[in-house]
Structure 1
């Protein structure tokens, strides 16, 4: 099957197998932040944006992305670096395996809701499996990041 999609802003036209999962497609194209964890759409490690909305690439056929825009963490470097520094600063990175999924979902959350409550943050990030932490570091990091963004906007205004 012939597909035509944008991956991190780059147009890709390619012949693919009908059963190719999006996770395998993006990794083939060098997007190694997208990780294979559970393969059952339960861990969040394979999160990508499809037309700006988070989806689990381990459960989506590449054919479904035909004509669409796919964005991985590699395509969101400025935002990812900011959020990543707050995760590291709060000791939330631990082994780091889950960080790309957390960052993708945090970026999606902050784009939708710039002033979420603790409960909303935890709910939005609940689909991300982290075996190292109790999610307290991630919550602290997200709250500090939001406070920093708010202060930055107030100073810049």
Structure 2
């Protein structure tokens, strides 16, 4: 059975004919070509597939694409082709190594900082613990997000 859905991804509307069992991560990657959404564990544990759904970080591997109909979805591609302030902070603080987990961390941080712009390092560390990274040990990721938050506060 095929279901017609309308998704808004990174500000662009898409009309899709999909099977109802298709995951959001698969539709983003395979139907829309947005391969920045990485698929790691496929169980919602690693966070590599984190996207923003109506501004809230969500695991795209745990969500059916049909569930996202009517929502605003943002993937890592929404951050732009150049380095935005968060990406720049990740680069400056060496918060990535292999890069596989990076899109998920970027979207997690983007959603968190939008909700909690005055977050301190302890709060950032707690949020970051929800995603897995096997390369960095998290310290540089926490430093990057903390630095970005401070810059955003200073710019307000």
TM-score normalised according to structure 1 size: 0.90
Q: Are 1:53 and 2:56 counterparts?
A: yes
Q: Distance in 1 between matches of 2:82 and 2:145?
A: 13
Q: Which runs of 5+ in 2 are unaligned?
A: none
* CA distance in structure 1 between the partners assigned to 2:82 and 2:123 by the alignment: 20
Per the TM alignment, residue 107 of structure 1 is displaced from its structure 2 partner at its CA by 0.7
Quote the RMSD (CA, aligned, Å): 1.6
1:68-113 deviations in Å (ceiling 9; x for gaps): 2211111232896211111111111111111111110111111111
Q: Segments of 4+ in structure 1 off by > 4 A?
A: none
Q: How many pairs are equivalent?
A: 153
1:122 paired with 2:116, answer no
Shift of 1:120: 0.8
Whole-Å separation in 2 of the counterparts to 1:66 and 1:40: 22
- Segments of structure 1 that go 5 or more residues without pairing to the other structure are none
Residue 32 of structure 2 corresponds to residue 14 of structure 1: no
| Distance in 1 of aligned mates of 2:16 and 2:99 | 32
Residues 1:37 and 2:37 are matched in the alignment: no
| Alpha carbons of structure 1 residues 147 and 67: separation in structure 2 relative to 1, 3 Å | closer
Structure with bigger helix share is 1
